[in-house]
Structure 1
């Protein structure tokens, strides 16, 4: 039945700019409304409505970067009737207002995420390894702890990790508030071997249901993979995740926050990685 969900997702991508009902999308794949809603959520992790909202914000990000359209026109183009609703949804998902997102991405660049303030309540850490799929070279990875199945604002804690091709890298995610989190990873990797000259490949990965206790360190391995059509778009504003030519050897876990990052990282702010292209365009 995953094929039915893939066809439904394709339908959402094709018709995102107009009002869509659950019944219409379910009928497009010849399933009952209630069965379809349950199947879609079980397969993608989110409801059809949330997936549609993510697609709209993803397209809005592209329009803000690639065109000079007014924000009001962008709002209408991606299916919103109210500029206020669009701005609120965009800001809560991306972490920046539409106007600020456009300015930073076109002029200054989205900076690497800085060290987050320590939580006021009890907190712990998450640590483990990040591994790349076969056939990929060096990668730069944004890894964070989230409440949601989608990579959207805010992350409770985040780090940037450089992962060398051919072997896993360690990471440590400190100052994660006590509770249950989803560890998401978004990466851009070089090719390797015969594919060494191919364009940078966007990768994603996650470790669900990570329980963090006060003062403890929870282990969570993250395996990166290529995006699937049924993966929701990445909404959080991210910096350019350009893989380094060769990750510098580090003592211990090579997990580095922006505050500790080499100066070259801080200078490389040429835009942002839209790591969630439309299915079929990656």
Structure 2
């Protein structure tokens, strides 16, 4: 087992060095030297990245899923972050080069819970959501769980994690909206067949809300659980700003209660989320 840096416990504020930057299609992968983060991070957790320089930093941080972590000694642990540069903050992060420094807070949030035994699992990812799922597949396979992976994206250039998944599991299904890679369609279109074929007991998913909702519905139809990693505007990452509230089914009445995706999530049970009210303030709440 690798040595864990002394004094590491819980999220840390860490200034890290960018070791490498790789561009593949629409996505950018940054590998950073982050020994404290790598010692603790688990699939499904994220970091909050300070965006900008000393005189141009934006007030809020950018949440980014950790795609993998390799613990080392106090100077050698690394982590990878996958970015789809579509807005100013993600374009800034994707524009970093080797040797640049980043200010990260993490690991934050809950990771994917793993089964106590060797439960068969289907993993469903969309775009850069394939990152943490390839990492999760490695953990599940190591525990002896039968695993299938389903990956989707708008086009072939938006896929992530296909080769890593193929090195780990026997069956990887790829779908793209335009049919430029694999079959045409959404990743959820292949889920029902995968559940039946594997006799799956749990589904894990990472992607946009529409996909996660379908995953939850399909898992419910087969009477199995779905653990989904929500993409939410987690501006602070610590639960203070309340920008990432998610309505979930409460036990105290008909109205949903609100939880913070950055603290109680981002991984949640799909059937707990009130999807119709996601992104809006539930009726009767302010």
Is the TM-score greater than 0.5? no
Using CA pairs under 8 Å that are at least 6 residues apart, name the structure with larger relative contact order, 1 or 2.
Answer: 1
- Identify the structure with the greater strand proportion: 2
- Identify the structure with the greater helix proportion: 1
TM-score norm. by structure 2 comes to 0.27
